[in-house]
Amino acid sequence: MDGPPSSDPGRNPVDRLAEALSCWRAPVLQGLSPALDEHPAAVALTQRWTDTVLTYADLALSLRQPERTIAPLEAAARIMPFHEGIGAQLMPALA
């Protein structure tokens, strides 16, 4: 990917979310300090990313494109293994 995600309003929302999620590299502030893992900004960004993954999964699954959701849902499950919404979306994606 070259440059920032496109802001073209005519693009497919699933494609736009996929492009946005591709910019995510790891949990926020991962490995810097255990205290930073719970910093309010890190927690808020992780929650925003999780919400985006779940929105992406909802859209892709509703369009019968489950294969698109597996990688981001698996990444989210590694970061938040006990999040019920992630697990609930991952099951039909893998089915």
Digit-by-digit pLDDT tens for the chain (95 residues) are 445 555 566 678 999 999 999 998 777 877 788 888 888 998 899 899 999 999 999 999 999 999 999 999 999 999 889 999 999 999 999 98
User: Model-level pTM greater than 0.85?
Assistant: no
Distance CA 45, CA 65 (A): 26
Residues 6+ apart with CB under 8 A from 53: 21, 72, 73, 75, 76, 86
CA distances from 86 to 31, 52, 90 (A): 23, 11, 6
Q: What spatial distance separates the first Cα and last Cα of the chain, rounded to whole Å?
A: 30
Burial of 72 (0-12, 13-18, 19+ CB in 10 A): buried
